[in-house]
Structures are given as structure tokens and as C-alpha cells.
Amino acid sequence: MIYRADFHIHSCLSPCASLEMSPTAIVRQARAAGLDAIALSDHNCTFNLPAFGKICERHGMPCLFGMEATSAEEAHVLCLFDELDKAMEMGERVYGSLPPIPNRLDRFGDQPIINEDEELLGFAEKFLISASAYGIGELVDQVHALGGLCIPAHIDRQVFGIIAQLGFLPDEDFDAVELTAAGDPALALHYPIVRNSDSHELGTLGTAFTEFDIEALTVDKIRSRLRETQRD
């Protein structure tokens, strides 16, 4: 079956995302936007993934469990898993490595943690836009050891894109690189390309997506499909 996938979506936990971004609202809007698979990828934190997983299951929406990690070089990197506990483990490591800088409510937004019934469980205390302690190579190794996909995010963007941060696209074992909807494929070099919306509000869900012709939504099947599109 063909999965039209958007794997880069922020929930209300991300301080830069709209508070309307609850897992339930995300799943409803994803359906309306014609998506068949989604991932929640909050900044440096996985605290809303358990609620997201329950809501996707309730609504029969295939999903991956993600996070957008900020590397020590301040490049954004998508970490995607098909098992919730593996994603939570990676999330603990990355969140745990963030500097002890509290969230700045005056400059950014709340970082609410919610359950599947949209009840407030608390707030992520550390400021989620900080850089983690993990370098890009360490992120790749750790995500792969936990069975996930490691994909530099929006590499064509000047802010927090890997090319803007390093000056070049490094030779790493990335499973793909992510371009924005208008991003130039030439920037991806030999790497497979995915496109996602990087939605921070409901209205942009599915404005960029990638289609995967696979039997089931698993990391292994996605990785094999991506490898087929690798260029020399």
C-alpha cells in the first residue's frame, strides 16, 4: 500500500508550536489532509509520544514515534522509531543532556505535557530549543543502535539546517535527508530525500509529504525503500 507520510509534526510540547497541536487534533487534521502516516517530532523531547501513540491507535492512524534532536553543532536531526519504548529511551538521553536552562515563557511558549484525554500532566522544565550534548555522528550511532531512522531535518534551511550550520553536508550513515517543500534536490547529494511539513500549526499539515509504497509502516521497510532511491 502507498503511505502518504508526514513525519515532521510538532505538538504543543514544542514551545514554538501552537497550543492547538494536541495529538487528537493532529490525527484529525492529518486525515483531512489526506495523510496515511504521521510522526510526532517535538524538539529534544518525547514526553507527548505516549498520548500520541494511544490517539493514533484509537483512530487507526499508522504512526512512527519521533523527535527532532538538536545536535551539539546546532543542526536539527529527525530521529524516527516504530517502537515507542525505543523513542522514549532516545528522548530521555537527549532531554537529559540539555543544559539546565529553564523555559523562557516571556520569549517563547508553554511546553505542556498532556495525556490522551488532553488533560495537562505538567510541563517540560528545560528549554527545548537548546542544543543537546550529542554530536551528529553520535546521534546517528545511538538512533541506529536503538533501531531508528536518522535524518537531518530541513537541510535547505538557513536556521538549524545542517548545511548552514556546518557549511557542508557531512558523509554519515544518514537514512535520508529532509528537504522543505521547495528545497533543491541537488543539496541532498547522494542521500535519499524525504519531504515533511515541519508543522507547528494544524493548517500546514501535509503541505509536504513523502509517499512510501510498502506493506507495513516499519523502520525496516522504510529504510529499504529509501535505499532504493540512493544515488551514486
CA 41-225-67 angle, 5° bins: 10
Per-residue interface string for the shown chain with Zn ion, residues 167-206, x marking contact by CB under 5 A: -------------------------------x--------
- CA 91/CA 44 separation, integer angstroms: 7
Query: Exposure of 41 by Cβ count < 10 A (0-12 exposed, 13-18 middle, 19+ buried)?
Result: buried
Nearer to Zn ion, 57 or 124 (CB): 124
- CA 114/CA 126 separation, integer angstroms: 16
Q: What is the largest CA-CA distance in the chain?
A: 49
- CA 44/CA 35 separation, integer angstroms: 24
Sign, CA torsion 48/108/135/133: negative
- In the region spanning residues 200 to 229, those forming contacts with Zn ion, defined by CB under 5 A, are none
Residue from 68, 82, 175, 178 in contact with Zn ion (CB under 5 A): 68
Total residues interacting with Zn ion, rule: CB under 5 A: 5
Nearer to Zn ion, 112 or 152 (CB): 152
Residue from 63, 76, 95, 150 in contact with Zn ion (CB under 5 A): 76
Per-residue interface string for the shown chain with Zn ion, residues 37-66, x marking contact by CB under 5 A: ------------------------------
Smallest distance, Zn ion to C-beta of residue 9, A: 8
CA 164-102-84 angle, 5° bins: 70
- CA 90/CA 152 separation, integer angstroms: 16
Smallest distance, Zn ion to C-beta of residue 198, A: 4
Smallest distance, Zn ion to C-beta of residue 14, A: 7
Decide: 199 and 187 in contact? Cβ < 8 Å: no
86 binds Zn ion (CB under 5 A): no
91 SS3 class: helix
Nearer to Zn ion, 208 or 217 (CB): 208
Which part of the chain contacts Zn ion (CB under 5 A), choosing from 70-78, 104-112, 134-142, 169-177? 70-78
* Residue number closest to Zn ion, CB atom: 76
The residue ranges that bind Zn ion (CB under 5 A) are 68, 76, 153, 160, 198
